[in-house]
Amino acid sequence: MAKTLVSDVVVPEVFVPYVIERTAEKSRLIQSGIVDADAQFDQLASQGGRTIEMPFWQDLDGDDEVLDDSSSMTPGKISAAQDAAAKVIRGRGWSYNDLAGLLAGDDPGRAIGELVASYKARRLQKQLLSLLTGIFASGTGLDTTNTLDLHVTSGGGTPGAGNILNGTTFLDAQQKLGDEKDRLTGIMMHSQVETLLRKLDLIDYIPDSQGSGMIMKTFQGLEVIVDDSITTETVDSKTVYHTFLFGQGAIAFGIGRKPEPVDGAVPGSTWEVEFSRDAAAGDSTLWCRWLNIMHPRGVKFTDASVAGKTPSNAELATAANWTRVFEAKNVRIVRIRSNVLPSS
């Protein structure tokens, strides 16, 4: 008896671009402008090597000179520096049994595109949180220049208005970017912080202009992304929540492609999508692989502590793998460490 398999339903050369597009649609990181999908980074991600070197010219400096008819000007120089991004290569497989699909009364292949896109959007958010932990770890530089500490320190008593994120302390955090602060577009926070802001009536709700029925939450004009995976600490027996402000395009994002088919793959498939079949068990498996660059502009990935071919999330969260190479305000990311009020 003929059976419809995932490989009959999902056409790889159509499936891969579709998942990429749907992942972008579902990612609040991309929609908010926090993560900037950049065609140049697509090309960089598709090149060889485990890291991508990106030299850049540093800004001109020095005072101008008063012209004089009896002396010559003294030229300055322009200096080059180097940024670097890590390639991240990941994969996941999903298997189902023919009988389970038949009994369900629905074709699992039709759901794959939607489910994989949602899954990958969540994994990208987890990847971002890992690298944020790394770039703000002690010793990277951003832990001081781009961090606002509001939380109660040892013996500080009960958290008050000055220890929480609110309209006033937000301005102090925003000022960490100086004259670049108007480029802020998004804020990522723990649900406890968001609940506190709702109690303070500081969260606004804006219907999607496209008529999708989605409601966008904003705080001080910035799109709010809520994720309880964000780092928390305990200081003076009180929970300290990390909140991140992002400037437009703070994180560059690129998707790498390897167009050559793999050995044994379904004809027409690419490296990103592969199918396998255990005929005796009646199991079909869809394998997905993806390669991306997610890079905080101006913070160099040093590759100093990576055990495998490409970094894990734990290694992205390691301070030794990051060093700031841009002027602090041009990194366009600010971290806030704050408490919530006891009743929140």
Mean pLDDT throughout 100-110? 63
| Bridge partners of residue 84, in order along the sequence | 53
- Segment 117-162, tens digit of pLDDT: 788 888 888 999 999 999 999 888 899 999 999 999 977 789 999 9
DSSP 14-61: HHHHHHHHHHHHH-HHHHTTSEEE-HHHHHHHTSSSSEEEEEEEPPP-
């690129």: which residue's tokens? 254
- Segment 182-239, tens digit of pLDDT: 988 899 999 999 999 999 999 999 886 655 566 789 999 999 999 898 989 999 899 9
Q: Which CATH number fits domain 6-53+81-338: 3.30.1760, 3.90.1690, 2.60.40, 1.10.3470?
A: 3.90.1690
Q: Give percent of the chain above pLDDT 70.
A: 76
- Segment 223-276, tens digit of pLDDT: 999 989 898 999 989 999 999 999 888 998 888 876 555 544 444 445 677 777
Contact 201, 98 (CB under 8 A): no
- Segment 29-46, tens digit of pLDDT: 766 667 887 788 888 877
pLDDT at 105: 60
What does the alpha-carbon distance between residue 144 and residue 193 come to, in Å, rounded to a whole number?
A: 22
Q: How far is CA 211 from CA 31, 206, 216, 304, in A?
A: 15, 11, 12, 47
Q: How far is CA 143 from CA 23, 86, 177, 330, in A?
A: 31, 21, 14, 15
Q: How far is CA 263 from CA 10, 149, 260, 273, in A?
A: 19, 53, 10, 12
pLDDT at 2: 43
The predicted model scores a pTM of 0.78
What does the alpha-carbon distance between residue 288 and residue 262 come to, in Å, rounded to a whole number?
A: 12
Note the residue count of the chain.
Answer: 344
